[in-house]
A and B are shown apart, each in its own frame.
Chain A
Amino acid sequence: MKNDRNKHSRVNMSIDKIAIEVQDISKIYRIGIKEKAHDNFANTVFDFIKSPLKNYRRYRSLYNFDDIKSVSGNNSDIIWALRNISFTVKQGEVIGIIGKNGAGKSTLLKVLSRITVPTSGYAKIYGRISSLLEVGTGFHPELTGRENVYLNGTVLGMRKKEIDLKFDEIVDFSGIEKFIDTPVKRYSSGMKVRLAFAVSAHLEPEILLIDEVLAVGDANFQKKCLNKMDDVGRQGRTVLFVSHNMTAITRLCKRAILLDDSTVVADGPASEVVTTYLKSDLGTTAIQEWPDFNKAPGNDSVRLRALRVLTKDGKHMETMDIREPVGIEIEYEVLKNGKIMLPCINFFNDEGIRIFGAVDLDIEWRGRTRIVGRYKSTAWVPGNFLSEGTVYVGVSMKTTAQNYWYFYIQEAVVFQVVDNMAGDSARGDYVGKLGGVVRPLLNWETEFYPA
């Protein structure tokens, strides 16, 4: 109790003190490692012989950026993971960092947690910092739970003495007292995560960087974790929190920073930034477009231009009513005449289970070679078919040959199937958990024999 009061008085004292100052940070990666395809055997052999020298140059070039500074970079094999990022965080602030995949969120956390070094710019961090980019870093299956608590704790920057003090609390939080002296390899994956999170939750740095670690464990445990996070924020600690979970962001953070294409595009009150994000094209996971032709998936025969999720009235929506049909629209550009192309889509649920796959069988183009031009193929998944939850859609362009694709994208768009519990879906009047990969509406018949 006394301890708590101290923490609160620290908050009051530290108003307006800066915790993190980020000034013009940029990070460049080189993806130079490209394999060249050979068209004949002699070339392959010749290349094989001279490959050691080539490999050496190639691997060396990965961290050598001298040429960027001189040519002021239009190099094609360079990726800006972060571009001139600047912001300041006051002590005690809880900040959410949002943005779509590849926007630079994780790289930013990696730079701030000193895992990787920025290419230019600087950051100043005032106070003891810990980062949680993964749950259970350093866990070893051969060691017991107890040993792993100590190992993981010290890996995260705790001292042995601190862990000694908190050990009972950690074990209590994890709820696996009985197995604490059993090697972790005998644990179920759930138990492992609980133990690992319990350690993380008892970190007491002044600044905490967290990357999406809440996306683990069952619903009850997640709730426990969110509450713990809330406590951490209230204790006056500074937290930087990367997540895709907008509910968690608005619940836990007062301020949010939106990253897109490696730069900061919005910075302000969490609810406003989240709304901006959801309203803009950035936020919607229901549309994926490739405006830059050269970066679009495909090759010189065909390029994918867009993939969209549609409602039956042609609107692009992220949330779909379970009773309504869902359209998947593939837009692509054929660049060469005379090829047969088979657009193909795959559906996965959030457990990674493939719900089903489908190939375009439109009569008009079936078995016919394509002519140069832009195409739009739309497939309709009937209403009352998909189960509730997140659905990931992958797209590919097959040839008639078995294992050849013009392009193949595992996860291009995502949408949510929701049941508004009106009673006319497959769940009827039942409101509990129903599960399942698909949820078709069945014909039910009841025969009644009076007693």
Chain B
Amino acid sequence: MIQAFTNLINNFKKSDHSGRQVTIIKPISGWQLIDFKELREYRDLFFFLVWRDIKILYAQTILGFSWAILKPLIQIIIFTIIFGKVAKVDTDGIPYFLYSAVAVIPWTYMSQAMSQSSQSLVKEAKMLGKVYFPRLIFPITPVLARLVDFGISILILLGVALYYRVLPTWNLLFLPIFLIMMIFIPAGVGMLLSALAIRFRDVRHAMQFLVRMLVYSAPIVYSATSIPDKYRFIYSLNPIVGVIEGFRACLLGTSIPWFFIWPGMVTSVVLLLGGAFYFKKMERIFVDVI
């Protein structure tokens, strides 16, 4: 920790007497802190990269941004047919379509942001070797860019809520907490895995399974109440559980199951900080191991 602190001081841009900016280049080792001041200097670049990410995703498609609605919608329909109609999963009396819609939408965001973020460094390896800007921008860009799709897919929720006549309740005030958690998860995972992926390309192959497995690790297609009491704590250490349960309670107005939520809150913060620290530690070798 002390070393990290000295590093921070050393790497900080200092001004000499004439007020000129001084950059010091020297070997870096050990843990680093995030230089928020530097990130702020690059905010315009950040903005354009996020914007590029948004624009090129649906470039040369006929449906364009409609895909942001179609992708989760098709998923919801499939889940409704398989788990709602065929398997008849218990949903505490809530229509299955509504039940899965409120879960699939944050999940679609998290899974997409997570996989794109973890591939971000490998994908932009060429740029990595040609220009300097804070490397942290790479994994964070898709996490922010996919928020646009998320925002659009909210339209589905509005439609569904209207159809089932679900009225907003005071619970809605808690939604920002779960939105933040929903962003922390892919940001943490993305920083961690992108730093790992640049050295070990295995991550790309493993990511496909990871995403597919994670769907079932959280109460997206089934109800969390079906988890036996003694496993609840371990189960809810998975922050995705908290996000899904939180979204459901906030949007449908059921009572908020905090015991499913708080362990995930802690893990999502740990994930974010852990991811950021690991990323900063590995940052210096990225270019040399591409």
Contacts and interface: CB of A to CB of B under 8 A. Distances in A.
Q: A and B: real partners?
A: yes
Nearest to A144: B55
Given A126-B16, A150-B48, A112 B56 contact: no
A356 interface: no
B27 A129 contact: no
A137 B132 CA distance: 11
A114 interface: yes
B199 A59 contact: yes
Given A126-B21, A150-B48, A138 B127 contact: yes
B27 A118 contact: yes
B5 interface: no
A374 interface: no
Contacts of A118: 25-27
Interface in A6-46: 17, 25, 29
B67 to A, nearest CB: 15
Interface string B1-24: 000000000000000101011111
B20 A127 contact: yes
Contacts of A150: 48
B44 A143 contact: no
A176 interface: no
B230 interface: no
A116 B285 CA distance: 7
A116 B287 contact: yes
A124 B289 contact: no
Nearest to B23: A125
Given A59-B200, A117-B284, A127-B21, A133 B131 contact: yes
A391 B281 CA distance: 46
Contact of A63 (B20, B42, B288): B288
B132 A124 contact: no
Contacts of B131: 113, 115, 131, 133-134, 137-138, 155-156
A271 interface: no
Contacts of A124: 22-25
A140 B22 contact: no
A213 to B, nearest CB: 11
Main secondary structure of the interface of B (DSSP, over half): mixed
A137 B130 contact: yes
Interface string B117-139: 00000000001111111000000
B254 to A, nearest CB: 43
Contacts of B26: 117-118, 121-123
A122 B132 contact: no
Contacts of B47: 154, 160
Contacts of A86: none
B49 interface: yes
Contacts of B18: 17
Query: Interface size class for chain B?
Result: 35 or more
A159 interface: yes
A114 B35 CA distance: 15
A142 interface: yes
A361 interface: no
B60 interface: yes
Nearest to A152: B48
Contact of A123 (B25, B60, B129): B25
Contact of B52 (A25, A137, A143, A160): A143
B21 A122 contact: no
A122 B22 CA distance: 13
Given A63-B288, A115-B129, A133-B131, A160 B25 contact: no
B152 interface: no
Nearest to A113: B132
A120 interface: yes
B132 A131 contact: yes
A142 B59 contact: yes
Contacts of A126: 16, 20-22
B89 to A, nearest CB: 39
A119 interface: yes
A116 B28 CA distance: 10
Contacts of A206: 20
B158 interface: no
B199 A129 contact: no
B285 to A, nearest CB: 4
A123 B24 contact: yes
A54 interface: no
B34 interface: no
A411 B26 CA distance: 35
A29 B22 CA distance: 27
A115 B25 contact: no
A171 interface: no
A100 interface: no
A25 B132 CA distance: 19
B166 interface: no
Contacts of A147: 52, 55
Nearest to B59: A142
B82 interface: no
Contact of B287 (A115, A142, A154): A115
A427 interface: no
A147 B48 CA distance: 9
Nearest to A114: B132
A110 interface: yes
A151 B22 contact: no
Nearest to A159: B44
A124 B287 CA distance: 21
Given A59-B199, A122-B24, A142-B56, A154 B288 contact: no
Contact of A129 (B23, B130, B200, B284): B23
B45 interface: yes
A111 interface: yes
B22 A155 contact: no
A143 B55 contact: yes
A129 B60 CA distance: 37
Given A118-B26, A150-B48, 7 more contacts: A17-B18, A59-B200, A60-B199, A113-B132, A122-B24, A155-B133, A160-B44
8 contacts: A17-B18, A25-B25, A115-B128, A117-B28, A124-B22, A134-B131, A142-B55, A143-B56
Interface of B: 16, 18, 20-28, 42, 44-45, 47-49, 52, 55-56, 59-60, 127-133, 199-200, 284-285, 287-289
